[in-house]
Structure 1
Amino acid sequence: MLRKSSVFLAIATFLLFNIGSIIPADKTWYNKLEKPAWSPKDKTFGLVWTILFALISFAVVIMIQKGATKKNKKFMVTLGTNYVANQIFPLLQFRYKNMMASTADAIIVAFTALLMAITARKESKLASALLAPYVLWSTFASALSTAIYIKNKPDRVHE
């Protein structure tokens, strides 16, 4: 079980950290958008997501070690949905520059993060606690994405 968990952790970490090189952020376009005063600096995003990806991976490893991934199908379906939505976000926002779609996606990420934490709690309070920062950050990111979408005219979104 430890080997399986270690392999998962390595693969998940690799995939999570490398999405940025597959779909690079168009910082020129993003920097032109109007943002709320409470918008974090660019460096903050990278630091926070690095920490969150590690916490998410550790939570999933705990679930695997408890055998919860076999008996808790809701957790696995939610994890898969969350993973796909999380990975689609940069594509929607930075490649297609579709703020409405990326905002909707950010809301899906936050909602499924919450569902992951809730369903993990049935099997492991520690795994659920490890997911709590992800729930908080993805909720914040949804609010930020919504605020940026509202602040920018639709004709500016597709420049």
Structure 2
Amino acid sequence: MNIVRRGARGAVSDRWPYLAAGAAVGLSAWAGARAAGPSDDWYAELDKPSWQPPAKAFPAVWTPLYATIAWSAGRALSRAGGRERRALATGFGVNLALNSAWTWLFFARRSPSDGVWGALLLDASNLQLIRRVARGDRTAAAALAPYAGWCLFATALSASIARRNR
């Protein structure tokens, strides 16, 4: 039996992809949250479809989704090397930027139609990211499926709100 022992330095280097991914996801969530507030009168006045979830559902859904994105990114980055690692990091970074941007487009700009365009870009980014991650780690890619699904739901919801409030 061949046992490899690692010192403290090895343990930290094994965790850095997870730590970096967690920090990036946390920053993205924080940046997006700056654009939307629970007491936004503008949003309360919009005509929304009957199938919109209650306000308390959004943090209940996003919290585990963000944790899953961080885990998936950490796992994918820890298994990749060189150019592929850089490409994965860039893909996750672009995706998280688009994730935050949606909130700014929809809420800060008070533009449901801009939010739809942002959501469509995020959906395309999700599909590209899942495809790229799957090349190196199908488990990490599968973990992104609920995030992509929720974003597709958010796109439909944004489109419905934009259509109802022209």
Q: Same fold (TM over 0.5)?
A: yes
**1:152 aligned residue:** 165
Deviation at 1:86, TM superposition (A): 0.9
**2:48 is the counterpart of 1:35:** yes
- TM-score scaled to structure 2, two decimals? 0.82
Question: Is the 2:49–2:160 Cα contact (8 Å) retained in structure 1?
Answer: yes
Aligned identity (percent) is 26
Per the alignment, in what secondary structure is the counterpart of residue 110 of structure 2? coil
Structure 1 96/106 Cα, relative in aligned 2: closer, same or farther at 3 Å? Answer: same
Question: Is the 1:69–1:76 Cα contact (8 Å) retained in structure 2?
Answer: no
Provide, for residues 81-136 of structure 1, a one-character-per-residue CA deviation record: whole Å limited to 9, x for no partner: 21111111121111110221111001111121111111111100111111000110
**1:137 aligned residue:** 150
Q: RMSD between aligned alpha carbons?
A: 1.9
**Residue-pair matches, total:** 153
Most deviating of 11-20 and 121-130 = 11-20
Question: Is the 1:17–1:50 Cα contact (8 Å) retained in structure 2?
Answer: no
Question: Is the 1:23–1:95 Cα contact (8 Å) retained in structure 2?
Answer: yes
| Gap regions ≥5 residues in structure 1 | 154-159
- TM-score scaled to structure 1, two decimals? 0.86
Most deviating of 66-75 and 88-97 = 66-75
Question: Is the 2:32–2:99 Cα contact (8 Å) retained in structure 1?
Answer: no
Structure 1 96/41 Cα, relative in aligned 2: closer, same or farther at 3 Å? Answer: same
**1:15 aligned residue:** 27
Among 26, 29, 44, the residue aligned to 2:57 = 44
Structure 1 20/122 Cα, relative in aligned 2: closer, same or farther at 3 Å? Answer: closer
Question: Is the 1:82–1:108 Cα contact (8 Å) retained in structure 2?
Answer: no
Structure with greater Cα Rg: 2
Deviation at 1:68, TM superposition (A): 4.9
* Amino acid in the other structure paired with 2:57: T
| Gap regions ≥5 residues in structure 2 | 1-12
**1:116 aligned residue:** 129
* Amino acid in the other structure paired with 2:34: I
**2:32 is the counterpart of 1:24:** no
Question: Is the 2:46–2:165 Cα contact (8 Å) retained in structure 1?
Answer: yes
